[in-house]
Amino acid sequence: MQVDIYLTTDQAAAYLKLKERKLYDLVAQGAVPCSKVTGKWLFPRAALDRWIAAGLSHPQGFQAEAPPAIIGGSHDPLLEWAARQSDSGLALLAEGSEVGLDRLERNEVAAAAIHLHGHETDETANLSAVAARSGLHDAVVVSVARREQGLVIAAGNPLGLKSFEQATANGARFGLRQAGAGAQLLLKVMLDRLGVPLAGLNCVAAPYPTGADLALAIRVGEADCGIATRAVAATHGLGFQPLTWERFDLVLRRRSYFEPGPQKLLRFLLQPDFARRAAELGGYDVGEAGMIRLNM
């Protein structure tokens, strides 16, 4: 889903529900945020939103409550490391992508890390999910990385599992993730392609909260395989059969985006140390790290 970051005069007038003549008057007065580029006025959508918000009338004593300094949603070893290294002060609460968005809507976290899968392509699934939530009308979606997801298997591949299809057909014990986790959504997509219901899998009873928990279960023999990232498999010394690359994004409300903690983290995504760590872990493409993918 493509959303213009910079609006032309006619687009800005429509966005603000003003006549173009009135908008030109505001420009002449220096009253509206804009910039002239090669003879044309451009209006940053985010700056217009802040300009409107600055003029809001509130009841006496009203103050919007700041969310706790927590990143909800999906767990990721690279993001966890970056949150510490950047001195962002942000803690992580890993409960799955959809739960992270739920908490962000309720103002219970400052950000949500997500990697969603469904009928949309892996490139647009995150953006479509955020845009569909009316409670996130002020959301900003920032790219962290593209990640390689796949079938994590025991070291040495003792069962000789060469593909997802073989693992399902041979009755390998699958470790599941909780409902709403990105990896569980990807598993459902893969099963749908094969025409296999989730009930048709040989599943370990309890779902695992994070990819790291799933990896530990495979390492100690509780499960034979499951869906997680290449980085998780490598960190735990496990085998990996690649399935797809996915978008891993950070979602924040606009007011949180400009807070010191998130800004420290977002600036760190652009540093060489972040790219080096991504290469060390493996299974990441951070070429677009820090890029704003959606500004509602």
Q: Does 132 score more than 80 pLDDT?
A: yes
pTM of the model: 0.78
Indicate the domain borders of the chain: 6-54, 68-296
pLDDT (mean) for 78-83: 98
CATH 3.30.450.20 correct for 68-296: no
pLDDT (mean) for 216-244: 97
pLDDT (mean) for 158-185: 96
DSSP codes, 195-244: T--GGGSEE-SSPBSSHHHHHHHHHTTS-SEEEEEHHHHHHTT-EEEEEE
pLDDT (mean) for 225-251: 97
Q: Tens digit of pLDDT for each residue in 26-59?
A: 888 888 888 888 889 999 887 787 677 666 555 5
Q: Tens digit of pLDDT for each residue in 135-156?
A: 898 899 999 999 999 999 999 9
Residue 135: what are its φ and ψ, rounded to 5°? Answer: -75, -5
- Percent of the chain clearing pLDDT 70 (strictly above): 93
